[in-house]
Structure 1
Amino acid sequence: MAVEGPVQDRPEVRMDRSDVGRRVSVRRLTGFADDNRPVFRDVIGVLVSWDDEGLTVVPRTGGPVSFDERLLVAGKTVPLFPARRAPLPPADPVGLQRTAARGWPAVEQEPLGEWTLRASAGFTRRANSALALGDPGLPLDRALAAVRTWYAARGLPALLEVCTPGSPEGLREELDRLGATCAPTLFRVAPLAGLARGGAPAALDRVRLSRTADAAWLSLYRRAGGGPAVEEAALRVVRGGPSVWFAGVPGAGPDRAPLAVGRCVVDGPWAGFGAVEVAAHARRAGLATAVMAVLAARAAEEGASGGYLQVEAENSGAIALYDGLGFTTSHTYQYALLPQG
């Protein structure tokens, strides 16, 4: 049932393996009708792989579509999904905090009443802090003692993610009494359509999407550090979430080390952005904006209409970038560090 001739000799195939990571439209032979006429099917989506095993395209909905290269009849790259303008999805601080927690899932999670204790070998504060939303099921002094014990058993500092509204009444006062130090973080939101329309065409064309974060991607997003346990935890966290996409801008060197990277996780109407990094020698070329735009377009293709991200209140450079992309602050939450007991 193969198509005759090598793929490069098929005039309607106007793409090649260098287009992996781009949005494409392909037609493939799927069989023959009763009268022996060929049956074709089309699919539009991200070309996530093309090797000797065949092609795989991830469409807007449903699972990946994989097929042998010999069945490829036609194919071409197509523009990014045209995201329609829409208002931000309805949400409150508690809902947004829970959405963000699903989008950056810790390696280890354990309930404490309605709280969630999270640990990931120390990789990022979000994945190594107690999500203190709702009732812990204990008086606050005992709940905080349980938090301290749980993290001490793992060799980690006792951190809590505290949000008002959301965290129990009196928690901030109890933290102050214990001498906890707090670091504010901004939770920022923006309509997705505006993000998807950003970026210069030349920069957008350099961005590639993938379903996995490989060693090259992680080499630029170097938040992990430490030994193998931290590296393993980092991979599990960044790859976790409902629908995760990674973006990269390959370099020109023999190792094609990325010039820019980013991550997006789609969860219903919301798309969470993070891990946006640009190599020092490639900055001020619009690559961060292009990475965000390509990720936003893919998230919109999956049905999201709002984007969110979390940024430390003292990170003025990142805040300025996100201001320019249309992000505004929904609320501020705190990472509270309990003193050692």
Structure 2
Amino acid sequence: MEISATGRLVVRITAADVGKRVSVRRLAKPGVTDTKFTDTVGVLTSWDDGVLLITRRDGESVRIPESSLVAGKIVPPAPARRRGPAASYEELARVSSRAWRPVESERLGEWELRAAAGFTRRANSVLPLGDPGLPLDEALTVVRRWYGDRDLPAYVQTATGAEGTQELLCAELERRDWTREVTAELWTGALAPIADLAEASEVVLSREADEAWLARYQRKGVSEVALRVLGWGSPRSSEAESGGGPSVWFATVPGSSAGAAPAAIGRCVVDGRWAGFAAVEVDPALRRRGLASAVMAALARRALDEGASASWLQVETDNAGARALYAGMGFSAHHAYHHYRAPVSAGNQR
């Protein structure tokens, strides 16, 4: 906290500091001077009508009455992580977007509108990196119309918690009654330690998601569009053949008997220095036997052979088991990301 030369706490932030990362201390019970203090660190996203709105790393917004402040200061961006590869938010946002390639996209200024018949929000949402080239309300009108024309709900994917993320945009969407439906995190880690993990059983790698792999995949009734999203970047694509696009690998641990669903599966997208893991799923009856680690190790070794050195994955905030597994492999959170859905009453949303 900011302390003056006389030893008193001082508020050294104003409404002019909106958009900056701040640390504030406030009274837990406004107006009660002998109550406990509460500290909040995050991006100051607004200061209107005597109320501060601060967005924390996890994307949660905290409303703080100006009258309850006892101290406050601007703080530098969150320090660089000590684990894992260095990377900017923008680099990771673009790499992860290419791993869930939409079947249709369109530019709106520097924003990318993405659609894939509704298969995964990551391929059916706006990636708002930069300026849309229009005032925000006009841009959101275009977004709602574009998705409405495709009979899809309008989503905007935002991020919080790292330098260059979109806390201000999150706050503006919330003011316009957009609803945050999903929050997850993108984690990064070194690739080589994953490749060194011991394999608990045979792992078969393929360029395609075959029927056996799909039998274990948690999304049932996978459509042709979904297969294109999952498999984009295979050597069959002209972009990958020319060296300009990612490549995709699917891993399968065969089931215990002929015709049985696989014991475990996984997917890896190799894109330059990055290997992105996804769809790591294990038969519930066979969990805690090292199968997920075996799948990731096999995929990591293939990614190393293709020149990757760093890795990323996406994990939901309430998936305690997966988070413990990935932390044990050396992964750590880089930023949180969120999907905001347009109000149902807006435009021609279904």
* Fold shared per TM-score above 0.5: yes
Distance change (3 Å), C-alpha of 1:168 and 1:250: closer
Closer, same or farther: CA 104–92 of 1 in aligned 2, 3 Å: same
The answer to whether structure 1 residue 96 and structure 2 residue 92 are counterparts is yes
CA contact (8 A) 1:120 1:127 kept: yes
Q: CA deviation at 1:280?
A: 1.6
Shift of 1:170: 4.0
Instruction: Assess if the C-alpha contact under 8 Å between 2:269 and 2:275 holds in 1.
Output: yes
Partners in 1 of 2:337 and 2:191 — Cα distance?
Answer: 23
Give 5+ residue unaligned stretches, structure 2.
1-82, 234-245
**Does structure 1 retain, via aligned residues, the 8 Å contact 2:256–2:263?**
no
- 1:130–1:160 Cα contact (<8 Å) kept: yes
Query: For 1:288-303, what aligned pairs fall within 5 Å after superposition?
Result: 288-303=292-307
Tell me the residue number matched to 2:285: 281
| Per-residue CA distance 1:167-209 (angstroms, 9 max, x = gap) | 668422320111122232211001001111113x4x1x41111
Q: Does the Cα contact within 8 Å between 1:187 and 1:333 map onto a contact in 2?
A: yes
Aligned position for 2:194: 195
Question: Does structure 1 residue 332 correspond to structure 2 residue 336?
Answer: yes
CA distance in 2, matches of 1:334, 1:254: 41
Among 183, 196, 204, the residue aligned to 1:208? 204
The answer to whether the Cα contact below 8 Å between 1:213 and 1:246 also exists between their aligned partners in 2 is yes
Residue 178 of structure 1 corresponds to which residue in structure 2? 176
C-alpha displacement of 1:104: 1.5
User: CA offsets, 1:144-170, max 9 Å, x none?
Assistant: 111111111212111111124546684
Cα distance in 1 for partners of 2:103, 2:220 equals 14
Which runs of structure 2 are paired with 1:1-341 in the superposition (5 Å)?
88-164=84-160, 165-166=163-164, 170-182=168-180, 183-199=182-198, 201=199, 203=200, 205-225=201-221, 231-241=223-233, 242-340=246-344, 341=346
CA distance in 1, matches of 2:196, 2:226: 31
Indicate the RMSD between aligned Cα atoms, in angstroms. Answer: 1.8
Residue aligned with 2:223, SS:
helix
Instruction: Give the TM-score normalised by structure 1.
Output: 0.69
How far apart, CA to CA, are the structure 2 residues paired with 1:294 and 1:321? 16
**Map of 2:37 onto structure 1:** none
Q: Deviation above 6 Å: which 4+ runs of structure 1? A: none
Alpha-carbon distance between aligned partners in 1 of 2:113 and 2:253, rounded to the nearest angstrom:
35
Name the CA distance, whole Å, in 1 between partners of 2:278 and 2:119. Answer: 14
Do the aligned partners of 1:109 and 1:116 also contact (CA within 8 Å) in 2? Answer: yes
Taking structure 2 as the reference length, the TM-score comes to 0.67
Figure out how many residues of one structure are paired with residues of the other and give that number.
248
Q: Structure 1 residue 252: deviation in Å?
A: 2.5
Identity within the alignment, %: 55
In 2, the alpha carbon distance for the partners of 1:166 and 1:120 equals: 27
CA distance in 2, matches of 1:235, 1:170: 35
- Give the letter aligned to residue 184 of structure 1: T
Which secondary structure does the structure 1 equivalent of 2:90 belong to? helix
